[in-house]
Homo-oligomer: A and B are copies of this chain.
């Protein structure tokens, strides 16, 4: 069996019981070096296949090769493996190479949900996930999605909001949102959620300081009803209270 396991945002507390059990019970673990560190204490005595950043295709191929020998193997991903994670890539490669192996995706708490819980309850009404990384999706397509989501008043979760290679994508996305959203719309930021250096804060589209945002950050832009009370970011569900 090839298990594709989402580790959650970063702490063992936010891993699912199934993810913990699969890692405990599987001898061979494949992962990116940073994710391996997240679960280091669970990996003693195991066979590790570790690759560096952008080694996703190599990792997936290795996991598939191991599974083809009949050995159990778990490939790990932060957050949920099916959200901008490893699950799709492994299944795509298996399909392309016409390899038939047993695959089980073990779901996890994705970054937006971890950040949302730490912020309060910003995702209580309809929302979108958009990755601002244009490495694999054309920037025009991403901009069109930001426009559509803002126009229809979705809460918008931005993954990969800003990196050294694309310092301006976030501000450009926020500027598109300002066509429809007020500049005082609440924005929640979760950085290194559930890790030692966790930072949780709320600001507004107008006041957001992009230089604080990096690849370990999730940015959640509220809808027109989102507000902050007692330190919590809240998007109303619509109850009459």
Residues of A at the B interface (CB closer than 8 Å) are: 6, 8, 12-18, 20-21, 56-57, 80-85, 87-89, 91-96, 100, 103, 105-110, 113-114, 116-118, 120-131, 135-137, 141-142, 144-145, 147-149, 151-154, 227, 229-230, 232, 234-239, 241
* A238 / chain B contacts, CB cutoff of 8 Å: 135-137
Flag if A83 contacts B17 (CB, 8 Å): no
Flag if A107 contacts B234 (CB, 8 Å): no
Inter-chain CA distance A130–B109, complex, in Å, is: 19
Distance to closest chain B CB from A155 (angstroms): 9
Distance to closest chain B CB from A48 (angstroms): 22
Flag if B105 contacts A125 (CB, 8 Å): no
* A151 / chain B contacts, CB cutoff of 8 Å: 148
Distance to closest chain B CB from A171 (angstroms): 19
Distance to closest chain B CB from A11 (angstroms): 8
Q: Which of A85, A123, A124, A147 has the most CB of B within 10 A?
A: A124
* A145 / chain B contacts, CB cutoff of 8 Å: 126, 152-154
* A136 / chain B contacts, CB cutoff of 8 Å: 237-239
Can you list 28 contacts pairing A with B, beta carbon distance less than 8 Å?
A6-B117, A13-B16, A57-B239, A81-B117, A82-B113, A84-B237, A87-B121, A88-B121, A88-B234, A89-B239, A91-B120, A91-B121, A92-B236, A92-B237, A95-B230, A96-B241, A105-B120, A106-B117, A107-B109, A107-B116, A107-B117, A108-B109, A113-B113, A126-B129, A128-B128, A128-B129, A148-B148, A148-B152
Flag if B229 contacts A95 (CB, 8 Å): yes
Distance to closest chain B CB from A41 (angstroms): 13
Q: Assuming A96-B241, A106-B117, what are 4 further A-B pairs, CB within 8 angstroms?
A: A105-B117, A126-B130, A128-B149, A128-B154
Distance to closest chain B CB from A231 (angstroms): 9
Inter-chain CA distance A20–B230, complex, in Å, is: 27
* A92 / chain B contacts, CB cutoff of 8 Å: 234, 236-237, 239, 241
Q: Of B113, B234, B236, which is within 8 A of A80 by CB?
A: B113
Inter-chain CA distance A18–B9, complex, in Å, is: 13
Distance to closest chain B CB from A199 (angstroms): 17
